Amino acid sequence: MTTLDDLPLRDDLVGKTPYGAPQKHVPVALNVNENTHPVPEAVAHDIVARVAAAILTVNRYPDREFTGLRESLADYLGHGLTRDNLWAANGSNEVLQQVLQAFGGPGRSVLGFAPTYSMYSLLADGTGTDWIAGERDADYVLSPETAVAAVRRARPNIVILCSPNNPTGTPLSLETIEAVYDATRYEGSAGIVVVDEAYAEFAPIGTPSALSLLDGRPRLIVSRTMSKAFAFAGARVGYLAADPAVTDALRLVRLPYHLSALTQAAAVAALAHSDEMLAMVDDIRGQRDRIVRELTTLGYTAHRSWSNFVLFGGVDDPHAMFEALLERGILIRDIGIPGHLRVTAGTEAETTAFLEAVASLRASGS
């Protein structure tokens, strides 16, 4: 049988492992931070109608500039943004990959602060960019001082700040972002600062976004996704807001027509119903806070979270607990932090199933 070792793979990819969150069909899937509430049916009908209209002209390539989608996204984000500030791709993973293709690459580096979203280092690998893992302060907080010290040491071409951070849920202050932006102005060159706000909608109402910092900061990029709060993970739509010069740079690396006409139609339709699409966010925040409360009562250390998931510690044997929950039809995530597991806030029923299973495992001493 042919194996990878038999193929002339790029040297720098030898021995690497792909992204591998398990995809299992279980009754309660709380492992990849999806919105576990389905798209409301009335909205689904409208989306289908617009996709049906789009399919009639699918013999033609789609609008390469996805103008309508960029306008809808600008309207959704507000902050005085226009379509020229917006860019989109098939999930924010692809958006981030394009950023690394344009601003990273061989001989360049990207700095992130571990533990953080596991795709960052994989995207660095895929684009031949050096991945540098900076450290965090106590309880996974990233202070301006710690972040700036890492930037000064590494002088990276790109910094990715995850706000709130996955897998810890930790909020990030605008002060840290501003300080990192200023620190990435080097003698004779400068770095790009990406703030990944994939979970921004789950932060407390009124929390300022890094979008409010874009004006006057042409090297700042704020990345977002429709996969989480918007309940649109299967449609694959991520986007960013930045200076129009940044989108010009991304045009150099994107594949022509990368966003299908069907994706564009579906996303525009969903954005026309953003209130209904986002209706479950409050409920999810409530379930998240309930998980933190109840896990704490059960004796775990549940970390503060501004996202739709909770990282909890105090687990003697994460692998055993993961398997015991799986046996009960509940899939959560072992993200490789010793003594910790991560769980997505689900519907009330899913969250109850998870918490009851944890309580019964606790009671049985396993």
Footprint of ligand PMP on this chain (CB under 6 A)?
A: 33, 91-93, 117, 162, 166, 196, 198, 225, 227, 233, 238
Q: Output the DSSP codes for 166-235.
A: TTT-----HHHHHHHHHHTEETTEE-EEEEE-TTGGGSPTTPPPGGGG-TT-TTEEEEEESSSTTS-GGG
CB of 187 to ligand PMP, least distance (A): 32
CA gap 4, 311 in Å, rounded: 35
CB of 27 to ligand PMP, least distance (A): 21
Is-contact 132 167, C-beta < 8 A? Answer: no
For 207, residues 6+ apart whose C-beta sits below 8 A from its C-beta are 171, 200, 306
Judged by beta carbon, residue 47 or residue 357, the one nearer ligand PMP is 47
In b/e form, how buried is each residue of 147-161, taking b as 16+ CB within 10 angstroms? bbebbeebebbbbbb
| Helical (H) or strand (E) element with 113 | strand 109-113
CA gap 164, 229 in Å, rounded: 13
Judged by beta carbon, residue 343 or residue 357, the one nearer ligand PMP is 343
CB of 93 to ligand PMP, least distance (A): 4
CB of 298 to ligand PMP, least distance (A): 26
For 14, residues 6+ apart whose C-beta sits below 8 A from its C-beta are 4
CB of 180 to ligand PMP, least distance (A): 17
For 273, residues 6+ apart whose C-beta sits below 8 A from its C-beta are 40, 43, 46
Judged by beta carbon, residue 238 or residue 318, the one nearer ligand PMP is 238
- Closest chain position to ligand PMP (CB): 91
In b/e form, how buried is each residue of 36-57, taking b as 16+ CB within 10 angstroms? bbebeeebeeebeebbeebeee
Judged by beta carbon, residue 219 or residue 224, the one nearer ligand PMP is 224
Judged by beta carbon, residue 120 or residue 294, the one nearer ligand PMP is 120
Judged by beta carbon, residue 112 or residue 191, the one nearer ligand PMP is 112
Judged by beta carbon, residue 96 or residue 292, the one nearer ligand PMP is 96
Which tokens hold the place of 228? 């989480």
CB of 119 to ligand PMP, least distance (A): 6
CB of 161 to ligand PMP, least distance (A): 10
CA atoms within 13 A on the CB side of 24: 16
Is-contact 27 243, C-beta < 8 A? Answer: no
Judged by beta carbon, residue 118 or residue 352, the one nearer ligand PMP is 118
Which tokens hold the place of 111? 């700095």
CB of 166 to ligand PMP, least distance (A): 4
